[in-house]
Homo-oligomer: A and B are copies of this chain.
Amino acid sequence: MPHLASAGAPSGDQSGDPSGGPSGLGLVTGAQSRTGALNPADLGRINRARVIHALQVSGPLSRSELATRLQISRGSVSTIVAPLLDSALLVELPKVTGSNGKPPRPLWFADRWRLGAVFVGTGTFTVANVSLDGRLLESSTDTFTDVATFRRRLLRHGERLFDVEALLGIGVGSAGAVDIPTGTVLENYRYPALNHLPLAPLLTEKFGVPTFVDHHPRVQAIGDLWFGIGRELQYFASVYTGDVLGVGLVAGGRVLAGPRGAGGELGHMVVAEGGSQCVCGQRGCWYTIASLGWLRRRAAELELPGAAEVTCHDLGQVTDGPARRLREEYAANLATGLANLEQILGYGTYVLHGDAAGGGEEFADLVAEQVADRIPRRRAEVSVLAAPEQDEATILGAAGMVMFRRYDVQL
């Protein structure tokens, strides 16, 4: 059996250890070109990736369960997972007795590896340490106003949280546009402090592991897809609402990205031509009627108490009066944009994050109704889901992106 390596101390690239650079196990994305032909080795990589993804989606599985799930023979599963066990990415859990026959040995991610996760927002950032099975072990949040402070604080938090011996890679979800191939921040919409910061090289150099950077809503979608509410969905849109409006699209179980990471800027879709002036220079952007800023301005107009700090969650606490009507207006305005997406893409499922998720399932249902009303001849159900109250999708997505990019052969 030509295993690629033996288990052992994490160091070196060709040792087969999953740590220490992108070539461990030869599973790195992009190794196989998009248009070129495939060879048997690619086949192995792809199937190993499928095994990893099946585990991510379904939790610990025995070889036998993997075989049925991937429609493959038990024998093949054994040879597929052998190098993954050898390199200590996976381990065998204790046998599960209780049923007839030889007890299965579920396979699961080894506990010794860690994923680094970073979320860069507008003026704040979070650094976290995540396990392979998607548990957020430890995290810390800090602020910044200029690039020098950001650099210093980011690296300091990283040093504290990351165990470089165990780290498989670092994923970063960043507000504003990102150049994916180089991992550089192109433009942070409201805080230009980080423009042109080569984030991936910075972290790769410091911590010696591969780093992947992507646009925030897309990272959030990866979180939903790998660890969250979208694990079993093939098609959905992950929508962030709040100080910006963004979307990450998942089609056929993969996260879409435009060329060089473009797209996802949902907020400046024009839905009300000639409407209010937007910060972006246009008029009638969705942003002008569905952002948290709009909600608070409108609350102030209605003279609601605490208007300047009101959230969707707050509005849900009140059962009648102007707050109630504002909540409905908010739902309707959100629905306007989502209905447009539904017309264009027809994915049928929308996962709300950010402020709107604070409204919970009730609010999501309200939005769903409004979306359905706006689809001329509804052919399929439209469902709107709210992310859980403790929303870790983006930070988990950043971690998941490491798995996604290292182990998922996108083909």
- Chain B residue at minimum C-beta to C-beta distance from A376: B280
Number of residues of chain A lying within 8 A (CB) of chain B: 67
- The reply to whether A281 and B376 form a contact with Cβ atoms under 8 Å apart is yes
- The reply to whether B258 and A346 form a contact with Cβ atoms under 8 Å apart is yes
- The reply to whether B259 and A235 form a contact with Cβ atoms under 8 Å apart is yes
Chain B binder among A6-14, A15-23, A39-47, A86-94: A39-47
**In the complex, what residues of B have CB within 8 A of residue A43's CB?**
38-40, 42-43
* Interface residue from B71, B258, B341 paired with A37 (Cβ < 8 Å): B71
**In the complex, what residues of B have CB within 8 A of residue A47's CB?**
37-38
Chain B binder among A28-36, A157-165, A384-392: A28-36
> How many subunits of this chain does the assembly comprise?
2
CB interface residues, A 238-265, toward B, < 8 Å: 247, 251-253, 256, 258-260, 262-265
**In the complex, what residues of B have CB within 8 A of residue A268's CB?**
343, 376
Give A259 Cβ to nearest chain B Cβ, in Å. 5
What separation, in Å, do the CA atoms of A195 and B258 have in the docked complex?
35
- The reply to whether A348 and B259 form a contact with Cβ atoms under 8 Å apart is yes
- The reply to whether B270 and A348 form a contact with Cβ atoms under 8 Å apart is no
CB interface residues, A 272-286, toward B, < 8 Å: 272-275, 280-282, 284
A269 within 8 A of partner (CB): yes
Most buried by B among A262, A263, A284, A344: A344
- Chain B residue at minimum C-beta to C-beta distance from A251: B256
Give A303 Cβ to nearest chain B Cβ, in Å. 25
**In the complex, what residues of B have CB within 8 A of residue A281's CB?**
376
Most buried by B among A264, A266, A346: A346
- The reply to whether B37 and A72 form a contact with Cβ atoms under 8 Å apart is yes
**In the complex, what residues of B have CB within 8 A of residue A263's CB?**
343-347
* Interface residue from B247, B274, B275, B346 paired with A259 (Cβ < 8 Å): B346
- The reply to whether B348 and A35 form a contact with Cβ atoms under 8 Å apart is no
CB interface residues, A 43-90, toward B, < 8 Å: 43, 46-47, 50-51, 54, 70-72, 76, 80
